[in-house]
Amino acid sequence: MKTTNALFLSVWLAAAAAGMARADDEKAGPSVAGVIGKLDAGAETVRVVCFGDSITGVYYHTGSRRAWTDMLGIALRKQWPRARVETINAGISGNTTAQGLARMEKDVIARRPDLVAVMFGMNDAVATPVETYAANLRRIAENCREAGAAVVFCTPNSVTENPQRPNARLAEFAAAMRRTGGDLGWPVADAFADWEALRRRDFREWTLSMSETIHPNLNGHRRFAELIASELAGKPVMLTDEDAGFARDRLSRTRARLEAGKPVKIVAMPPFDRLFAGEIRERFPDARLEVTPWPWSGAGPVQTGGDGWVAGGRAAAKGFAREIRERHPDLVVVAPPASVNAGADEALFVADAQWMLNLAFPFGREEWEVVAVLPEVAEPDPSFDPIRREILKRMMLGKDVNPLTRGEGDRRPAADLIRDTVAGEGG
């Protein structure tokens, strides 16, 4: 009898201890350590909601398909190979922290996240008092905690200096986020400090991380993901081009339309308007194509050895580019030749490439396919500065586009490379 009573007492004490431990866990609430434990174990899916403005959402800045939300999922799986991760993008263009709070229940809490990555500040910096911004961040974090989600903050990137969002003002908001994270015990990935350090160390690399003056491209979004994952892991987490997983089949969406017998509207820089149309018709004889050339050369000076880009090509190309979204194409081919901007300084060369690429994409999520072509495809031996070629390639990757190029020693006619692309072959 004494043995039985002792056994009951032992069981009761163990159950009570377990109950108290559960109560302590509930009282402690969600934690980053708990999220990391789930990532490392890999037994359960870890749901991550990325909450912010246009620098979080999927827009033309990153190529209309992916953003740092997707890159963060890749980075987390790289650091914790057993992890089962679901990432959800809750970024909306133009949002402030106040607007984020207003939609938080629907866009964040209802998704039942384990972790919420919060990046606001770029729009708050325009008109929101920094004290209000900090209070809103605190409310966002409290809402997450009450819903059982841990939080990681990420400060906004620095920008090209402008009166609406001076970097000194953004620095105040970054500092407010750091203080709020510190007060609440949540980690902060300091993208602003990282961007500013990069600008001082390597201005070209900073520029190649940007889509324009404010919004980073996918190169920059990879940097966000690396910073956030590194903050969570407590050690550097880096993503290679291979990790990022750029699509090797450049024409899958267009080919699906052709195989379904649907009409295809093509906008392409010469000579690729003719080359793509010809190779598509060769493979799909019944294809219904509407082909519109995207002009890049002005009239007159080209025939006499002048610079057609400066003499009118830039204005013609940019004017046309501004109409691309209204045309609702199915395929856009961006292929600036080696002669474009050959004599320009690097800043102007980059600025022109930025608007060419930006305007080739829809404003928001993918509605059509974009193929980017490096100059050597049209000209096997172009007189093209290799540094500028690398800049152009990096900018194309920054739009989540795997640029069409030539392999070493490949001197086939351009039509052969386009034929491979239409067939879904080639690297």
| Count of beta carbons in the 10 Å neighbourhood of residue 241 | 12
- Among 309, 382, 320, which Cα is nearest to 356's? 320
User: How far is Cα 112 from Cα 253, in angstroms, rounded to an integer?
Assistant: 33
Residue ranges covered by each domain of the chain: 28-244, 252-423
User: What pLDDT shows up at residue 337?
Assistant: 87
Residue 424 confidence (pLDDT): 94
CATH homologous superfamily, domain 28-244 = SGNH hydrolase (3.40.50.1110)
Q: What is the pTM assigned to this prediction? A: 0.91
Residues 275, 407: Cα–Cα separation, whole Å: 19
CA dist., res. 119 & res. 51, Å (int): 6
As a whole number of angstroms, the distance between CA 104 and CA 251 comes to 37
Tens digit of each residue's pLDDT, the chain (427 residues): 444 444 433 433 344 343 333 333 445 699 999 999 999 999 999 999 999 999 999 999 999 999 999 999 999 999 999 999 999 999 999 999 999 999 999 999 999 999 999 999 999 999 999 999 999 999 999 999 999 999 999 999 999 999 999 999 999 999 999 999 999 999 999 999 999 999 999 999 999 999 999 999 999 999 999 999 999 999 999 999 999 999 999 999 999 999 999 999 999 999 999 999 999 999 999 999 999 999 987 543 334 344 667 777 889 899 999 999 999 999 999 999 888 877 889 999 999 999 999 999 999 999 999 999 999 999 887 678 899 999 999 999 999 999 999 988 899 999 999 999 999 987 6
pLDDT of residue 384: 83
Cα dist from 18 to 14, 23, 210, whole Å: 6, 9, 52
Task: Quickly tell me which residue has 């879904």 as its tokens.
Answer: 424
In the prediction, which pLDDT does 2 show?
Answer: 44
252-423: same fold as 28-244?
yes
Question: pLDDT by residue (tens digit) across 139-150?
Answer: 999 999 999 999
The per-residue pLDDT for 26 is 41
pLDDT tens per residue across span 151-176: 999 999 999 999 999 999 999 999 99
CATH architecture of the domain 252-423 equals: 3-Layer(aba) Sandwich (3.40)
pLDDT at residue 135, as a whole number: 99
